[in-house]
Amino acid sequence: MLMEPVTFSESGGIRYLHFGTELIQGAMRLRDPNEIYLEYNQQMMAWLLFLETKPGMQVAQLGLGTGALTKFTHLHCPAVKNTVVEVNPAVIVAARSMFYTPSDDRRLKTLQIDAHAFVHDEQLHNRFDALQVDLYDAICDGPSASSLDFYSGCYDLLKSPGVLTVNLFSRHKSFDINLNNICEAFDNRVLLFPESHDCNVVAMAFKGPLLHAEWNDVVKRAKLIQEKTGLATASWAPGLRYANARQESALNI
């Protein structure tokens, strides 16, 4: 398999990851390497609204990038075991050397493997509480894994209850393809965040018992996450409430 070149740039105190083009694959603020700098990356942590971290919990990230999600979970969720899936060895090296992602330990395991093979490993079915998917190539015009077969594999990986977050690209034909396949794999139990910078839209899908929550409780949970971790969560509840049909009075998903 031909791997894309990994390149870097810096501007205004921000270090960027590229795959041989000007398109941004991730970013880190140099004076605060553990901050999740990009808004859509922050929203990928929104499973914290619905799942309490506890010993034995397992979270998987498909696509390492700059390691922003991995660093955040490793730092702020010490009870959680992280599995990172990244096919390109140069990305793994770059995440550790240029973006300060921690090396593997008892709470972090990095697998150099294709994401499709990972989601179809039957030994991993029903293992993960949360799954974060951010898989893009150098062209960056849509996720590099988008089929119903792939998202059905994601569903199989999750425990019940479990939450999937996926970074989608809104202004491309891939958006409808991915969203339709996520909805089919997860029985239409899908929420969308409003579009953020550079046309990113994070989708969140649910497995397990039907969920009902008053929005005031979601707001309180988001505030607690922000107080504990510094993650900017104030816009999460309002964004989810108004970006999704039939969710205005309460969250039912």
- Whether residue 77 is contained in a domain is answered as yes
217: domain CATH number? 3.40.50.150
Q: If DSSP codes are grouped into helix, strand and coil, which group holds residue 177?
A: helix
- Whether residue 2 is contained in a domain is answered as no
pLDDT at 140: 62
Q: Domain total for the chain? A: 1
Which residues, 6 or more positions from 59, have their beta carbon under 8 angstroms from its beta carbon?
47, 73, 77, 80, 81, 82, 83, 128, 129, 130, 131, 132
Query: In this structure, what token pair is assigned to residue 205?
Result: 């899908």
Q: How far are the Cα atoms of 14, 34, 84, 154, 223 from residue 62, in angstroms, in the given order?
A: 23, 19, 6, 10, 27
* Residue 79 near residue 129 (C-beta atoms within 8 A): no
pLDDT at 172: 80
Ranges of residues in the chain with a pLDDT under 70 are 1-2, 138-142
3-state secondary structure 14-54: EEEEECCCCCCCEEEECCCCCCCCCHHHHHCCHHHHCCCCC
- Least Cα distance to 144 among 41, 37, 62, 70 occurs for 62
Q: State which amino acid sits at residue 233.
A: T
pLDDT digits (tens, 9 = 90+) for 170-224: 888 889 999 999 999 999 999 999 998 778 999 999 999 999 999 999 999 999 9
- Whether residue 147 is contained in a domain is answered as yes
Q: pTM for this structure?
A: 0.95
Q: If DSSP codes are grouped into helix, strand and coil, which group holds residue 62?
A: strand
Cis-peptide, bond into residue 33, ω within 30° of zero: no
- Domain of residue 57: give its range: 7-248
- Least Cα distance to 107 among 178, 59, 168, 140 occurs for 59
- Whether residue 253 is contained in a domain is answered as no
pLDDT at 20: 86
